[in-house]
Structure 1
Amino acid sequence: MTLTYGFSATLTATTGRGDRLVDLLLTGLDEGSPGASEHCVVYLVSRSASAPDIVHVTEGWTSEEEHHRIFAGEAAQSMVARIGELLAGEPEYTDYVPVRGKAAF
């Protein structure tokens, strides 16, 4: 599949809640969740090496439209609401157009 849209997000959990944030974000790969969609080609959750409450998410999608469609659904909106309860502030987003790369997990 071809990626035409992607973004990265940096999320800062309230003190000591980084593990819970990571666990919740990883449920995004469960069946019926946004990261399990055939249109989500990359879903990577990472942590800061120096600050365990800072979490990064990188996503790559077949199209921006599919990303918005999936995230308008009930499962994604529920997940977004639960994520918001763990955050110390607003996430920082950077959108991008994938050019080329490799992902092997």
Structure 2
Amino acid sequence: MIATYGFTATLTAKPSAGDRLIDLLLTGLNAGSPGASEHCLVYLVSRSASDPDVVHVTEGWTSEEDHHRIFAGEAARAIVARIDPLLAKEPEYTDFVPVGGKAGPVKP
């Protein structure tokens, strides 16, 4: 499969909630969760080097439609509902069209 849609999200956690936010975002890779979908080809959670409460998520999907369909499901809505109380402000999103590169395993 090829990723034809993607985005990055920057999430700012409430003070000292960055670790909890990261742990919760990584549950998105569990079986039945959005990141485990065959349509999610890239799911990378990163922390800002300068602020431990700023978290970046990069996702690559087979299509924008697949992304929206998966995120309309119960599992995605449950994760989002648990994320919201940890945030200090609204997430910032940047969408993109993947043109090449590499996605591989990173340490859990």
Q: TM-score range by the shorter chain?
A: over 0.9
Q: Distance in 2 between matches of 1:104 and 1:72?
A: 27
Partner in structure 1 of residue 28 of structure 2: 28
SS of aligned partner of 1:85? helix
Partner in structure 2 of residue 81 of structure 1: 81
Partner in structure 2 of residue 71 of structure 1: 71
Which aligned pairs between 1:1-105 and structure 2 lie closer than 5 A?
A: 1-105=1-105
- TM-score, structure 1 normalization: 0.99
Structure 1 residue runs of 4 or more that deviate by more than 4 Å after TM superposition: none
Residue identity in the other structure for 1:70: I
The number of aligned residues is 105
Q: Distance in 1 between matches of 2:104 and 2:8?
A: 18
SS of aligned partner of 1:24? helix
Q: Distance in 1 between matches of 2:104 and 2:40?
A: 14
Q: Distance in 2 between matches of 1:16 and 1:104?
A: 29
Residue identity in the other structure for 1:27: T
Identity of aligned residues (%): 77
Structure 1 unaligned regions, length at least 5: none
What is the CA distance between 1:103 and its match in structure 2?
Answer: 1.1
Q: Distance in 1 between matches of 2:19 and 2:59?
A: 20
Structure 2 unaligned regions, length at least 5: none
Residue identity in the other structure for 1:29: L
What is the CA distance between 1:16 and its match in structure 2?
Answer: 0.4
Residue identity in the other structure for 1:78: A
Q: Distance in 1 between matches of 2:49 and 2:13?
A: 15
SS of aligned partner of 2:86? coil
Alpha-carbon displacement from aligned partner over 1:43-98 (angstroms, at most 9, x marks no partner): 00000011000000000000000000000000100101111010000000000000
Q: Distance in 2 between matches of 1:20 and 1:3?
A: 29
